[in-house]
Structure 1
Amino acid sequence: MAHTYLVFVWHMHQPFYKDLATGEYQLPWTRMHALKDYYGMAAILDEFPKIRQTFNLVPSMLVQIEEYAEGRAADPFLRLALKPAEELTGPETEFILKYFFQANPGRVIQRYPRYHELYEQWRAHHTDPAGLARRLGVAGLRDLQVLSQLAWFDEIFLETDPEVRALAAKGRNYTREDQLLIGRKEQQICGLVIPTYRRLAQAGRIELSVTPFYHPILPLLCDSNIASVSQPGAPLPRRFRYPQDARVQMESALDYAREKLGIRPAGMWPSEGSVSDEVLALAAELGVEWMATDNGVLGATLGRLAGVSETCRPYVWRQEGREMKMIFRDHFLSDLIGFVYSRMDASAAAHHFLDRIRENARIVHREGRDALIPVILDGENAWEYYERSGRPFLRTLYQLISQDPGISAVTVSEALRKLPAADIPRIHPGSWINANFEVWIGHEEDNTAWEYLLEARETYDRVTQGPEGASLTEAEKQLAYQELLIAEGSDWCWWYGPHHHTENRAEFDQLFRSHLAQCYRALGKTPPAALSRPIAHVAAEAFSQAPCGLIEPSVDGEVSSYFEWLGAGVYRPDHRQGAMHGRAALLRELRFGSDGVRLFVRADMEQSSPGAMAGLELRLTVRASNAETEFRFTLARDGAHLSSMSGRGTRHALPHVACAYSRIFECSVDLAGIDASASAPLQIQVSLWREGLPLEAAPPHGWLEFTPGEPAEWE
């Protein structure tokens, strides 16, 4: 009987946050994820002996974890979290108020009532940090110092460590001793990360693979012009061609793993799944046996859509006597975990995922062969969007897999030994995102970064290979080259350009330019003046405006008149994405308002033609003072209809609802029928769903609030 081999590859990665000149860490995220995901994602496997997985580790991340574990990391975020609250200076307090609320509000902050209480005060008064500090007082600041750390602790410690459980249960009014305990626990947890991976690997429970040391886009290091193959016509910077750097990044990663993890990895997830023929050839020369990327790259390689049949098998690339075994991640399945299941009940999500695996496997089994199901994704950033860091979901999923005799969760190398590979003579140059490199090259900001990197790289060669190099020590040359290797990392250009957004955009920009500047200084050169100026431009954030007048639009699904929605509230989402890259946005704009009797909502979507969103479900949730009502509208080519309504409240009659869909979606709901009045605040949220799976919500967190009978300008 045909069997199913399920391969999980969890990619663990953070940028190199340390400034080598000052020795200080510029951002805290390596430490924060070490407290939770880097340890917990591996340790949870102790509960499930039948589950074997592959963890892909980035050496530059592990280097940072080592420093935290040994107490050597100079981290101002940690230092201020542990400093006595009564001794904080004004600038230090402002720093804490700026950075210590950078967590998911719904899943991380709201889990701790006191943290959420402080967050709400920050939302109301963050433009006046001095005034906010006075409001919070010493006790409030200390609670923030402790809770901003505790909120990142792994579920294992929250469930089983008596001291951590006591801290969480205390909830507020923390003491200096509590701060010191937090500091000890953080170092202890960081110290468990690398030994846990080593232990599980030596026991055969997991396979360890690596990414090139500082997480560069290897094909672009080898030849940046390769981007024109997958991005024809894109404007590109001057050609960057340093395959020797790509080799160093790979070789140093393999050497680090051998020294610190006690194994020489057989496989590699190249940064962002970025591959090219030249990259595979270099990796093969270094003894790498397998690499992985996305099935979008597979489709571009085969010249046809890579469906289930194509994706659920291994391949082997062969050129000029070299070979590389390849697996291609199932983009859809992987993204369900990364972007969809966090909005679902944990058990329902786990069952849905296993159903999709079985469905895909049946297609392959009918062809008379075993199925390989490759699920590859970020092992850290998704979990802060899940209930309790995703552990209920993972525990349910792992238990279901363990109980299914037709499915084996195995490592990549195990799967490659069990399944025959199909030949591919070439690989399409691209990444896991759209099978191209557009996130990292082609946009003005990205191209500027590449120009600066190339100029520094050329300066390094000119100085070290010329007469000036004789006056430099080997340590200075090595430092300059290390700074270049760090600057070659993909993370800087991830945040440049229009694709992604982070509250730390300015810090990433400064870090990239600082690494290049340090390269020049190590070479005895004055850094170019351009490195003192930001590369990143100011980007537009989500726009929200309350209604400023009563409205009475025609509910017909058409833009009948510019004036019919004049005075409505407007919400435009921020479509830039964060550390996790998902699919393209669907909702372009929401408009909302009232005539004092009815609620009106309009959704403008990113569609190529009227009715193009047919098949989706639009859900409108309305909160009034005593009730919450959800309306589900099915979108069709010929319009829309209300498919269901549910909620709680004191209403005695169903509200009258009208809806329409063509160029836009419009609906109206009687206020009285949902226990709402024109004089009381109303909250709304709109979300899009497909086949019971959530796609997008606006706003993504919280609600749009207004008073139907009191437009903003009348107040």
Structure 2
Amino acid sequence: MASENTTPVVLCWHMHQPDYQNHKTGEFLFPWVYLHCLKDYVDMAAHLEHHPGAKAVVNFAPVLLEQIEDYLLQIERWRHDGPTMGDPLLAALVAPTLPTPGSPAFLALIDKCLRANKERIIKRFPAYARLADVADLYRTRPDLQRYLSAQFLADLLVWYHLGWMAETVRRTNAVVQGLQEKSHNYTLEDRRALLDVIAELMSSLGPRYRHLAQKGQIELSMSPWGHPILPLLLDFGSARESLPDITLPEHSGYPGGRERAIWHMNEGRKTFERFFGMAPRGCWASEGGLSQATLALLSDQGILWTASGDSVIHNSLRYAASGHAGPEQESVHQPYRFGEASVTAFFRDDGLSDRIGFSYADWHAKDAVGDLVHHMEAIAREPGTRVISVILDGENAWEYYPENGFHFLDELYEVLERHPKLRLTTYTSYLEGAKTSPAQLPELVAGSWIYGTFSTWIGGPDKNRAWDLLCDAKQQVDRALDNEPLSADQKEAALRQLGLCEGSDWFWWFGDYNPAPIVQDFEQLYRRHLVNLYERIGCEAPANLFQPMSQGGGAPAKGGAMRPGHEAEL
């Protein structure tokens, strides 16, 4: 039994990828779902399995779970002589015939196979590094491309997937170890053996996480289905609670936003329960985006807890203090309830979480964990500390660490599962064992885990234009559903396509501060989703959907896939 003198610590890992599939063709335009499955989701489960005394919260975006299901379905169909798999990289890995050397398709696959962390993945393996050096030469010398061979591409495809392999698998799987030792001249049989490993790992994810949850080692929670920013669906004006002067889109609000927010919660729960066989009790509202209206909606949905960044609670405490309605003990490190909402909110310690995301990748693992735990111990001694929350995504940080964060995560769980003063737990377990009620505040000041604002998703010219295009499309959908002779299946398909367009990721990437190639990828995919939406309802897409809306050009830390919780930390 845990000592009452220990301070609860919650590690909450958020697993999320937007929908990369063109649902008109079935093609996955980017491979990040299956690659993060292969590298990160597998490793995160394996570390917990290796440390049975550790506990964590693992949050999944339902749209990610559905893509995992679709990949597995496509692989099985292909194995039974069905159509080619919809992901070009995965299909090429096992293709009997590869594109002609020097052809556009050949060069496109080369480019895709170099989209990996150069220092931590490509350079780690001499054979992969040599292939990358050759590819760099031939990409700049079109006159030499005729001398490339199909074997070069076959080897590059194998090493790309070996580079993205989970470290826990790399250390134990005989097929992976054999392919690494072979290093070159991979046969079609080799490539198909690697696909078998990929399929086995992906199919293991649901059962592994479900088993960890069933034995009480993890708590599984969910985000709304398509990962929308719920407060902005409910009310654009919520962005002005933390940024009063922010410029909002031309549309005064998202049409029918409350109904759409409820739809995302209901659809998310269906997917979650199908994948894991249990109902979620917690919800990481996409990007920790909360408002008082969002808390009320989560309460109505029967959600027990939610969470956000510490800037949100700081803003809310200041608001309460201005009306002399603050709690007796102000602290980031305790749960809160706001107004009449019954859902309990926890708040991310941005300093601790961002150390993992942005600082420790270049530290020795023991030094990094020692530093993190030292800070936790100091926090545990502070008045008002009741629970310490470390919340960050479970996929993007590890490629910057040696060996996919293997040593850091192993040391982190090893130290915390036997620490005499800190106790790993989950949010539901904490609430069930709590002897005191959450602190009460009159109202939550709307915001997200990034800066305590919504500026990452609304307010800039590119972001606002994207919202206006979405609002126009939503109004057209409403008219079509009311007036067009659409079948029940057509209506459902249209609403699901709309849900993809409502996701947070498109708005995240728009803006000059993000890298141009990634901005281009995401804005093209966003426009494709919108065009497909118009086609679903039998309407012609407006001409402005075929015009780029954002260019990018910045160089943010870690490529922009992660951001620190406080603006001063940029």
Which residue number in structure 2 is paired with residue 228 of structure 1?
A: 240
Determine which structure has the larger strand proportion and give its number. 1
The DSSP-based 3-state class of the residue aligned with 1:503 is helix
Quote the Cα distance in structure 1 between the aligned partners of 2:493 and 2:458: 26
Once the two structures are superposed, what CA deviation does each residue of 1:345-367 show, in whole Å capped at 9, x if it has no partner? Answer: 11111111111111111124xx6
Q: Which residue of 181, 184, 198 corresponds with 2:193?
A: 181
TM-score (normalizing by structure 2): 0.91
Q: Which residue of 112, 121, 128 corresponds with 1:99?
A: 112
- Check the 8 A contact 1:483/1:519 in 2, yes or no: yes
The DSSP-based 3-state class of the residue aligned with 2:14 is strand
Which residue number in structure 1 is paired with residue 344 of structure 2?
A: 325
- Check the 8 A contact 1:575/1:585 in 2, yes or no: no
Q: Which residue of 468, 492, 504 corresponds with 1:490?
A: 504
Task: Note the C-alpha offset of 1:427.
Answer: 0.9
- Check the 8 A contact 2:9/2:422 in 1, yes or no: yes
1:527-538, aligned counterparts within 5 Å? 527-537=541-551
The DSSP-based 3-state class of the residue aligned with 2:381 is helix
Quote the Cα distance in structure 2 between the aligned partners of 1:418 and 1:316: 17
TM-score (normalizing by structure 1): 0.73
- Check the 8 A contact 2:99/2:105 in 1, yes or no: no
Which residue number in structure 2 is paired with residue 546 of structure 1?
A: none
Quote the Cα distance in structure 1 between the aligned partners of 2:176 and 2:294: 46
Q: Which residue of 251, 268, 278 corresponds with 1:263?
A: 278
Task: Note the C-alpha offset of 1:279.
Answer: 0.8
1:296-307, aligned counterparts within 5 Å? 296-303=311-318
Q: Which residue of 423, 426, 430 corresponds with 1:408?
A: 423
Judging changes above 3 Å, is the alpha-carbon distance between structure 1 residues 438 and 77 closer, same or farther for their aligned structure 2 residues? Answer: same
Q: Is residue 20 from structure 1 mapped to residue 28 from structure 2 by the alignment?
A: no
Once the two structures are superposed, what CA deviation does each residue of 1:29-70 show, in whole Å capped at 9, x if it has no partner? Answer: 000000021122022211111101110001100111112223
1:614-625, aligned counterparts within 5 Å? none
Judging changes above 3 Å, is the alpha-carbon distance between structure 1 residues 576 and 385 closer, same or farther for their aligned structure 2 residues? Answer: closer
The DSSP-based 3-state class of the residue aligned with 2:539 is coil
Which residue number in structure 1 is paired with residue 121 of structure 2?
A: 108
1:82-97, aligned counterparts within 5 Å? 82-84=94-96, 87-88=99-100, 90-97=103-110
Structure 1, 240-249 or 285-294: larger mean CA deviation = 240-249
Which residue number in structure 2 is paired with residue 511 of structure 1?
A: 525
Quote the Cα distance in structure 2 between the aligned partners of 1:10 and 1:65: 18
- Check the 8 A contact 1:500/1:576 in 2, yes or no: no
Q: Is residue 46 from structure 1 mapped to residue 46 from structure 2 by the alignment?
A: no
Which residue number in structure 2 is paired with residue 448 of structure 1?
A: 465
- Check the 8 A contact 2:451/2:567 in 1, yes or no: no
Q: Which residue of 341, 359, 366 corresponds with 1:340?
A: 359
The DSSP-based 3-state class of the residue aligned with 1:313 is coil
The DSSP-based 3-state class of the residue aligned with 2:455 is coil
Quote the Cα distance in structure 1 between the aligned partners of 2:17 and 2:144: 32
Q: Which residue of 557, 573, 579 corresponds with 2:561?
A: 579
Q: Which residue of 117, 129, 149 corresponds with 2:130?
A: 117
Task: Note the C-alpha offset of 1:258.
Answer: 2.0
Judging changes above 3 Å, is the alpha-carbon distance between structure 1 residues 234 and 581 closer, same or farther for their aligned structure 2 residues? Answer: same
Quote the Cα distance in structure 2 between the aligned partners of 1:107 and 1:431: 31
Which residue number in structure 2 is paired with residue 6 of structure 1?
A: 9
Which residue number in structure 1 is paired with residue 175 of structure 2?
A: 163
Task: Note the C-alpha offset of 1:169.
Answer: 2.1
- Check the 8 A contact 1:314/1:416 in 2, yes or no: no
Q: Which residue of 166, 170, 184 corresponds with 1:154?
A: 166
Which residue number in structure 1 is paired with residue 82 of structure 2?
A: none
Once the two structures are superposed, what CA deviation does each residue of 1:267-288 show, in whole Å capped at 9, x if it has no partner? Answer: 0001100001111111111101
- Check the 8 A contact 1:480/1:523 in 2, yes or no: yes
Quote the Cα distance in structure 2 between the aligned partners of 1:203 and 1:136: 53
Which residue number in structure 2 is paired with residue 652 of structure 1?
A: none
The DSSP-based 3-state class of the residue aligned with 1:5 is strand
Quote the Cα distance in structure 2 between the aligned partners of 1:132 and 1:23: 35
Quote the Cα distance in structure 2 between the aligned partners of 1:240 and 1:123: 48
Which residue number in structure 1 is paired with residue 252 of structure 2?
A: 239
Once the two structures are superposed, what CA deviation does each residue of 1:77-107 show, in whole Å capped at 9, x if it has no partner? Answer: 2112332465546122111122110111111
Q: Is residue 312 from structure 1 mapped to residue 333 from structure 2 by the alignment?
A: yes
The DSSP-based 3-state class of the residue aligned with 1:323 is coil
Quote the Cα distance in structure 2 between the aligned partners of 1:150 and 1:508: 26
Once the two structures are superposed, what CA deviation does each residue of 1:318-373 show, in whole Å capped at 9, x if it has no partner? Answer: 32xx4111100100000011111001111111111111111111124xx6xx6311
Once the two structures are superposed, what CA deviation does each residue of 1:220-256 show, in whole Å capped at 9, x if it has no partner? Answer: 1111122122222222111223111011101211222
- Check the 8 A contact 1:502/1:578 in 2, yes or no: no
Q: Which residue of 355, 362, 367 corresponds with 2:381?
A: 362
Equivalent pairs, count: 545
Quote the Cα distance in structure 1 between the aligned partners of 2:42 and 2:514: 27
The DSSP-based 3-state class of the residue aligned with 1:310 is coil
Once the two structures are superposed, what CA deviation does each residue of 1:639-661 show, in whole Å capped at 9, x if it has no partner? Answer: xxxxxxxxxxxxxxxxxxxxxxx
Task: Note the C-alpha offset of 1:133.
Answer: 4.1
Q: Is residue 198 from structure 1 mapped to residue 205 from structure 2 by the alignment?
A: no
Quote the Cα distance in structure 2 between the aligned partners of 1:403 and 1:335: 24
- Check the 8 A contact 1:294/1:330 in 2, yes or no: yes
Task: Note the C-alpha offset of 1:213.
Answer: 0.4
Task: Note the C-alpha offset of 1:111.
Answer: 1.2
- Check the 8 A contact 2:288/2:449 in 1, yes or no: yes
Q: Which residue of 388, 399, 402 corresponds with 2:403?
A: 388
- Check the 8 A contact 1:56/1:209 in 2, yes or no: yes
Q: Is residue 276 from structure 1 mapped to residue 291 from structure 2 by the alignment?
A: yes
Determine which structure has the larger helix proportion and give its number. 2
Structure 1 or 2, whichever has the larger Rg, is: 1
- Check the 8 A contact 1:219/1:276 in 2, yes or no: yes
- Check the 8 A contact 2:513/2:553 in 1, yes or no: no
Judging changes above 3 Å, is the alpha-carbon distance between structure 1 residues 29 and 249 closer, same or farther for their aligned structure 2 residues? Answer: same
Once the two structures are superposed, what CA deviation does each residue of 1:90-147 show, in whole Å capped at 9, x if it has no partner? Answer: 122111122110111111111111111222333444334x456445433322211100
Quote the Cα distance in structure 2 between the aligned partners of 1:341 and 1:243: 40
| AA aligned opposite 1:28 | P
Quote the Cα distance in structure 1 between the aligned partners of 2:98 and 2:284: 47
- Check the 8 A contact 1:85/1:142 in 2, yes or no: no
| AA aligned opposite 2:298 | A
Judging changes above 3 Å, is the alpha-carbon distance between structure 1 residues 182 and 465 closer, same or farther for their aligned structure 2 residues? Answer: same
**Residue ranges of structure 1 left out of the alignment (5+ in a row):** 542-572, 587-694, 697-715
The DSSP-based 3-state class of the residue aligned with 2:344 is strand
**Residue ranges of structure 2 left out of the alignment (5+ in a row):** 78-84
Task: Note the C-alpha offset of 1:451.
Answer: 0.6
Q: Which residue of 470, 475, 480 corresponds with 1:463?
A: 480
Quote the Cα distance in structure 2 between the aligned partners of 1:268 and 1:505: 28
The DSSP-based 3-state class of the residue aligned with 1:428 is coil
Once the two structures are superposed, what CA deviation does each residue of 1:366-396 show, in whole Å capped at 9, x if it has no partner? Answer: x6xx631100001000000001110111111
1:689-700, aligned counterparts within 5 Å? none
- Check the 8 A contact 1:231/1:436 in 2, yes or no: yes
